[in-house]
Amino acid sequence: MNVLIILAHPDRYSFNHAIAGKCKDRLTENGHSVILHDLYEEDFNPNISMIEIPRNGKIDDVVKKHCADLTGSDGIIIIHPNWWGQPPAIMKGWIDRIIRPGVAYEFLDGDNGEGVPNGLLKASVGLVFNTSNTSEEREKEIFKDPLETIWKNCIFDLCGVKQFDRRIFRIIVTSDLQQRQAWLNEVEKVIDKYFPKN
């Protein structure tokens, strides 16, 4: 399988980077092809321009490459911290520019944009790994876990990716090496579940 990993964290020594490395290594060990985009390392421009917005809008070569990688993927893995119940701005910009009409979804003939779009992605699995410094109880009871809604319902399901799994590793700021290793072991198990050896 072809698997796309999108990573958004500015610190190359972050636990998010460790997660991405574990995903890439395990996928490779299991015989899968991997494309990893580190948005901060690539200095991805998150700002969408007016000319990009229409389905037939003009897009630059970077956006074309990301769109091609997305549409060619059998699995998609998203990795980022929970910042204010949202992805980092660079990830939001990636969503705005890459999850675009004609690439990830389309409206059916006769639909003026008010209906539910048809998902176009061929990926069968969408995985999300988040890090957080918010307790599970507070995240669910007070904040209603907006990242779950964003990734599961607003993006993956809408774009045709029906298998979804999300793991949240918390509390990062007080975690020790032993805890982080246990989390990386969990990442490995999740990869094995959805992307087993060929």
Alpha-carbon span 121 to 98, nearest angstrom: 12
Q: Cα dist. 191→48, 73, 101, 113, 196 in Å?
A: 32, 15, 29, 36, 7
Please state the rounded mean pLDDT for residues 30-39: 99
| Amino acid 113: pLDDT | 67
Residue-wise pLDDT for 79-122, tens only, equals: 999 999 999 999 999 999 999 999 999 988 777 767 788 999 99
3-state secondary structure of 187: helix
Residue-wise pLDDT for 6-21, tens only, equals: 999 999 999 999 999 9
* Cα-Cα end-to-end distance for the chain: 9
Alpha-carbon span 178 to 182, nearest angstrom: 6
Reply yes or no on whether the pLDDT at 125 is more than 80. Answer: yes
Omega into 171 within 30° of 0, i.e. cis?
A: yes
Q: Enter the tokens of residue 158.
A: 């809408």
If pLDDT is split at 50, 70 and 90, which confidence band does 124 have? Answer: very high
Q: Enter the tokens of residue 16.
A: 């998010």
Residue-wise pLDDT for 41-81, tens only, equals: 999 999 999 999 988 899 999 999 999 999 999 999 999 99
If pLDDT is split at 50, 70 and 90, which confidence band does 178 have? Answer: very high
Enumerate domains of the chain plus CATH numbers. Answer: 2-194 (3.40.50.360)
Reply yes or no on whether the pLDDT at 193 is more than 70. Answer: yes
| Amino acid 116: pLDDT | 82
Reply yes or no on whether the pLDDT at 138 is more than 80. Answer: no
Q: Enter the tokens of residue 122.
A: 């061929």
Q: How many CB atoms lie within 10 A of CB 29?
A: 12
Alpha-carbon span 53 to 132, nearest angstrom: 32
